[in-house]
Amino acid sequence: MKRIRMPHYQFILFDLDETLYPSESGLMDVIGERILQYMIHKVGIPADDAPSKRRLYFQKYGTSLRGLIEDFRIDPADFMQFVHDVNPADFFGASPPLDHMLAGLPLRKIVFTNSDVAHSERVLNTLQVRPHFEMIIDAHTVNFKTKPDPLAYHRALELLEVDGFGCIMVDDKARNLIPAKDLGMTTILVGSNGVSSAVDFSVPTIFHVEGIIRQLLPIER
């Protein structure tokens, strides 16, 4: 008889963009435009071809960066600096409710993002929640084998010295949660008003995550 392993949670892994702040803010729309500009003006991809190539890279690799590295051997640091040359404070400000929610979650908190540390720091500092996170696992950390590549998740678990059953992962894309679930993580999809069979829980906003955590373990007040 197969034994079912029960989770013993240690970490919550939070995606950054459009997870910790609303997609309606427009920040990622601007970053998306800058990705296209990089592809056109820095790489030399024809303007008519850039949008379809970007969609192809996203479908195949999860990020445009990974596709551009594979096809054009671009400098990832140059790409990251260019596309993230945007001030998050132009799109949102401090979030006292998010700060309060994170303070009430007793598990160790990690940012697990396909962006870089510099952009992550700017976003977290703008939201005024940076002190809650003990580590940022970014694209550089996983050697640009970014989500949803399973190698990214294995690298994250290796760094944290934990297995998947010790983690809860929160992301706004179901495709990024599927490999996490395969490794035993409990998965929470943010930005969904329905139920997805690919993940364990679906919630409309980041602020609903606390209710799910309450179901999974007691939260002291």
Q: Are residues 15 and 31 in the same domain?
A: no
Sequence-ordered list of residues with C-beta below 8 angstroms from that of 177, at least 6 positions apart, any chain? 169, 171, 187, 188, 189, 198, 199
CA angle 145, 111, 10 (to 5 degrees): 105
- Answer yes or no: is 193 within a domain: yes
Count structural domains, the chain. 2
- Answer yes or no: is 36 within a domain: yes
Residue 76's domain is classified under what CATH number? 1.10.150.450
Q: Are residues 143 and 166 in the same domain?
A: yes
Residue 177's domain is classified under what CATH number? 3.40.50.1000
Q: Are residues 55 and 109 in the same domain?
A: no
Judge whether 130 and 150 are in contact, CB under 8 Å.
no
- Answer yes or no: is 123 within a domain: yes
- Answer yes or no: is 188 within a domain: yes
Please write the tens of the pLDDT for every residue from 111-155.
Answer: 999 999 999 999 999 999 999 999 999 999 999 999 999 999 999
Judge whether 201 and 189 are in contact, CB under 8 Å.
yes
> Which amino acid appears at position 189 of this protein?
L
Please write the tens of the pLDDT for every residue from 12-35.
Answer: 999 999 999 999 999 999 999 999
Q: Which two tokens stand for residue 73?
A: 């051997």
Q: Are residues 67 and 155 in the same domain?
A: no
* Domain around 191: 11-22+93-216
Predicted TM-score of the model (pTM): 0.93
62, 88, 114 — which closes off a domain?
Answer: 88
